[in-house]
Amino acid sequence: MASTTLICDTEPWKDLKAHVEDLKNTHLRDLMNDKERCQSMMVEFDGMLLDYSRQRATLETMDKLYKLAEFQAASLKQQINRMYSGEHINSTENRSVLHVALRAPRDAVIYSDGKNVVPDVWNVLDKIKAFSEKVRSGSWVGATGKPLKDVIAIGIGGSFLGPLFVHTALQTDPEAAEFAKERQLRFLANVDPIDVARNIAGLNPETTLVVVVSKTFTTAETMLNARTLREWISSALGPSAVAKHMVAVSTNLTLVEKFGIDTNNAFAFWDWVGGRYSVCSAVGVLPLSLQYGFPIIEKFLKGASSIDQHFCSAPFENNIPVLLGLLSVWNVSFLGYPARAILPYSQALEKFAPHIQQVSMESNGKGVSIDGVPLPYEAGEIDFGEPGTNGQHSFYQLIHQGRVIPCDFIGIVKSQQPVYLKGEVVSNHDELMSNFFAQPDALAYGKTAEQLLKENVPQHLIPHKTFSGNRPSLSLLLPSLNAYNIGQLLASYEHRIAVEGFVWGINSFDQWGVELGKSLATQVRKQLHASRTKGDPVEGFNFSTTTLLTRYLEASSDIPADPPTILPRI
Ligand SMILES: O=P(O)(O)OC[C@H]1O[C@](O)(CO)[C@@H](O)[C@@H]1O
């Protein structure tokens, strides 16, 4: 059990604070000259290579970080063990945190509340396998007897971002793409009717299966979108078609049934799976198996499981998620860099940063310790990112010469879609990877005024063309980007974020911060209804909101009080 002492009051924390001073005058240029240091800052596991030599850290820094992690207030190893053994480490919701069980081998034993949950996990996986095979083979057909070749998955937040990331990453993997021929998978997340319009554009309800994904089955956006697509199906095919065209993924099977979905076609998961950690549950596995077939998705689960085993068994100095997590704590809490850029040099990973943004910011964006004590230090970080090289032509200017933002460069050895053009200097993937290798050095070394002078740069441009360097980054090199590697990448980041939260002494597995906005929206929804249907004046809001709401209502007063059902048409 972690102690209630705040980590910032411990000796290892204070020691690290003091250690920042030792590094103040050490430039990354100099650190990079120390080959022995660089060698010890390369870690390999299961084909993944992590190089963190471009962090503003020495081997002494790493020792101090390990000490911090081992110290009683952080007790990282113990906390990891508590997670794997199903203790209720999500204490504000009194829940275990067992997303590792979602990808555990069939014969693994993982307990939550005295029960081995692995057989339940595999019951659902087997059910998904059977169902997805029926749909994919055409033995499950729609209400008019046509096979269902298109899937719309409705869900938001954790019930959307992870599956979207994996789908986007698999789309161009030749093996996965082969199994997805003639099929489409789309994601409807935003309650904005434009998202509905875009999702149904070009689809025929007769050949479409809708998967409603919601842990709670109460999320306002998801439920309105689900009712909208239910209407889209039933207005085209009759209400009885819903049973053939809508299935659900949820922990709340009672509400699934109430909604009108046959619970035989509902795929369960459990309250010990946090929404943002649910991509390996039916939340991701069902839509992805419908698109790519279960065997491909099983490989993804195996990749994640490989990292799960590594995370709970490797010593800290060889443990990729632990190293990633500790370095993030170092950057945020000691070097004072509040943000992190996630920069995959792979277009297939274009949705990785948005997914990790939720996993990280919803997990660690907390202001109090796990015991409710206000934190005297900042926890969490601002995550953002874009695939290289697009990011280079967007926000890298700030990263090179403006603020210091530690960067994660993620590179892939073998492209999913290689292109070679006769006569070109390098292949297209080598061109991409040239940037992957160049950017970290540009950030670390920079360019001095002396160098510019030697290049005869005019004096007045020297300040503008100088790069201070000393900007930290890390590089992660994956052998390829198939389902297995995608699983590895996902689990590495999930665990990294847990490590950060464990050290900061916060609860990374609740998300109370999303509640206030939701309840205020309920009040606005009631007002809009009352104003539109009974002409009630706007009441109970501050001046600003009253003015905005009144303007909104007045400017849209042509909308009838009780309009007929209208579905988008594009
Ligand atoms: O799966 P549900 O219950 O619809 O919730 C969707 C998302 O909403 C949140 O509760 C808050 O945004 C997320 O944590 C969750 O992933």
Q: Which of 507, 495, 504 is nearest to 88 (CA)?
A: 507
Contacts for 194 with CB less than 8 Å, ≥ 6 apart: 568
- Mean pLDDT of the 63-82 span: 94
- Kindly state the helix (H) or strand (E) to which residue 187 belongs, with its residue range: strand 184-188
For residue 570, what pLDDT is reported? 78
Residue nearest to atom 12 of ligand 1 (CA): 157
pLDDT tens-digit profile of 119-137? Answer: 999 999 999 999 999 999 9
Q: Which of 93, 159, 217, 253 to mutate to test the pocket of ligand 1 (most atoms within 8 A of CB)?
A: 159
As annotated, the active-site residues are 362, 393, 518
Model confidence pLDDT, tens digit, residues 316-341:
999 999 999 999 999 999 999 999 99
- pLDDT at 534 exceeding the cut of 60: yes
- ω into 389 cis (within 30 of 0): yes
Closest CA to 259 of 269, 250, 268: 250
Identify the CA nearest to 253 among candidates 241, 265, 244: 265
From residue 311, give the alpha-carbon distance in Å to each of 277, 387, 390, 483. Answer: 16, 26, 32, 19
Quick one: 279 exposed, middle or buried, by C-beta within 10 A (0-12, 13-18, 19+)? Answer: buried
Counting from 1 in the atom list of ligand 1, the atom nearest the Cα of 278 is 16
CB atoms within 10 A of CB 252: 18
- How many angstroms separate the alpha carbon of residue 158 from the centre of ligand 1? 6
CA of 217 to the centre of ligand 1 (A): 9
Q: How far is the CA of 274 from the centre of ligand 1 (A)?
A: 9
Measured CA distances, 89 to 98, 497, 506 (Å)? 10, 15, 10
Question: Which DSSP symbol is given to 368?
Answer: B
pLDDT at residue 442 in the model: 98
pLDDT of 23 above 70: yes
Q: What is the position in ligand 1's atom list of the atom closest to the CA of 511?
A: 14
pLDDT in tens, 398-456: 999 999 999 999 999 999 999 999 999 999 999 999 999 999 999 999 999 999 999 99
* Separation of CA 253 and ligand 1 centre (Å): 16
Q: Which CATH class is domain 111-299?
A: alpha beta
Site to substitute for ligand 1 among 507, 514, 515, 516, most atoms within 8 A of C-beta: 514
Query: What is the Cα–Cα distance from 297 to 301, expressed in whole angstroms?
Result: 6
Query: Residues 6 or more apart from 133 whose CB is under 8 A from it?
Result: 293, 294
Q: How far is the CA of 218 from the centre of ligand 1 (A)?
A: 9
Domain extents for the chain? 7-73+314-509, 111-299, 513-555
Ligand 1 centroid – CA 468 distance (Å):
42
Ligand 1 atom nearest to 275, measured from its CA: 16
Nearest CA to ligand 1 atom 16: 158
- What is the CA(187)–ligand 1 centre distance, in A? 15
Q: What integer pLDDT is reported at residue 272 of this predicted model?
A: 98
Mutating to test ligand 1, I would choose from 156, 364, 510 the residue with most ligand atoms within 8 A of its C-beta, which is 156
Residue 232 pLDDT exceeds 70: yes
Question: Which residues of 47-180 form beta strands (DSSP E)?
Answer: 48-51, 111-112, 115-116, 150-154
> Using CA atoms, how far apart are residues 161 and 164, in angstroms rounded to an integer?
5
**For the CA of 156, the nearest atom of ligand 1:** 6
Q: How far is the CA of 421 from the centre of ligand 1 (A)?
A: 46
User: Which residue, judged by its Cα, is nearest atom 8 of ligand 1?
Assistant: 157
Contact 439, 503 (CB under 8 A): no
User: What does the pLDDT read at residue 2?
Assistant: 46
On the question of a common fold for 7-73+314-509 and 111-299, the answer reads yes
Give the model's pLDDT for residue 5: 87
Report the nearest-CA residue for atom 9 of ligand 1. Answer: 157
Closest residue by CA, ligand 1 atom 14: 275
Q: Which CATH superfamily is domain 7-73+314-509 in?
A: Glucose-6-phosphate isomerase like protein; domain 1 (3.40.50.10490)
3-state helix, strand, coil in the chain (%, to 5): 55, 10, 35
Contacts (Cβ under 8 Å, ≥6 apart) of 297: 284, 285, 288, 289, 483
pLDDT at 74: 77
Residue 73: pLDDT band (50, 70, 90) is confident
Is the ipTM higher than 0.90? The answer is yes
Instruction: Report the SS3 class of residue 393.
Output: helix
pLDDT in tens, 263-316: 999 999 999 999 999 999 999 999 999 999 999 999 999 999 999 999 999 999
Q: Residue 72: what pLDDT? A: 81
The number of the ligand 1 atom at minimal distance from the alpha carbon of 216 is 3
Neighbours of 498 (CB within 10 A): 27
**Encoded tokens for 196:** 């509905």
Mean pLDDT, residues 167-189 taken together = 98
Shortest-distance Cα residue to atom 11 of ligand 1: 514
Mutate to test the pocket of ligand 1, among 510, 511, 519 (most ligand atoms within 8 A of CB): 511
Query: Which residues form the pocket of ligand 1, taking CB atoms under 6 Å from any ligand atom?
Result: 156-159, 214-216, 219, 222, 275-276, 362, 511, 514
